[in-house]
Structure 1
Amino acid sequence: MESKEEHYSHDHIMESIRNLSENDAKTFLNLIYALLRDNTLPSEQLVSHVLSVYEKKIPRVVKTRQNK
């Protein structure tokens, strides 16, 4: 089981991005767009939120898809 604080290497994140399905990629782009469009956070928090999509959410989705 993954811990909430697990971080992935840059190479692992890039590999995860390459392994996204087209629909998953569009969903993540829409999520990032919504974070940017509706931003009311200080810039540091905004960057942190967007990075968490890349560092945590994308690898988890890819891992889940591969385990099915």
Structure 2
Amino acid sequence: METKEENFPNDSTMESIKSLTEKDAKTFLNLIYALIKDNENPSEQLISNVLTIFEKQLPRVAKARQNKN
């Protein structure tokens, strides 16, 4: 069983979020909105898809943004 702490993004994910540009953040919000709006998956799959954005895609974009600067 998951604890409450496991439901929240870890510190590195939070740092990734903080380093996004406004344009990056809007893009991710639009992606998450589309997943929710067009959701035909069970709720577990929807949550998994959104978590993948936070755990994998956000850090990649943040790292690419840092390397670009």
Asked if Structure 1 and Structure 2 have the same fold, meaning a TM-score greater than 0.5 normalized by the shorter chain, the answer is: yes
Instruction: Give the AA of the match of 2:12.
Output: H
Tell me, yes or no, if structure 1 residue 57 matches structure 2 residue 53: no
Deviations 1:14-51 (A, max 9, x none): 00001100000000000000000000000100000000
- TM-score normalised over the length of structure 1: 0.85
Root-mean-square deviation (Å): 1.0
- Cα drift, residue 67 of structure 1: 1.0
What does residue range 1-68 of structure 1 map to in structure 2 within 5 Å? 10-68=10-68
Instruction: Could you tell me which runs of 5 or more consecutive residues in structure 2 were left unpaired when the two chains were aligned.
Output: 1-8
The separation in 2 between residues aligned to 1:65 and 1:20, in whole angstroms, is: 8
Identity of aligned pairs, percent? Answer: 65
Instruction: Give the AA of the match of 1:51.
Output: L
Task: Return the structure number with greater helix share.
Answer: 2
- Cα drift, residue 65 of structure 1: 1.0
Instruction: Could you tell me which runs of 5 or more consecutive residues in structure 1 were left unpaired when the two chains were aligned.
Output: 1-8
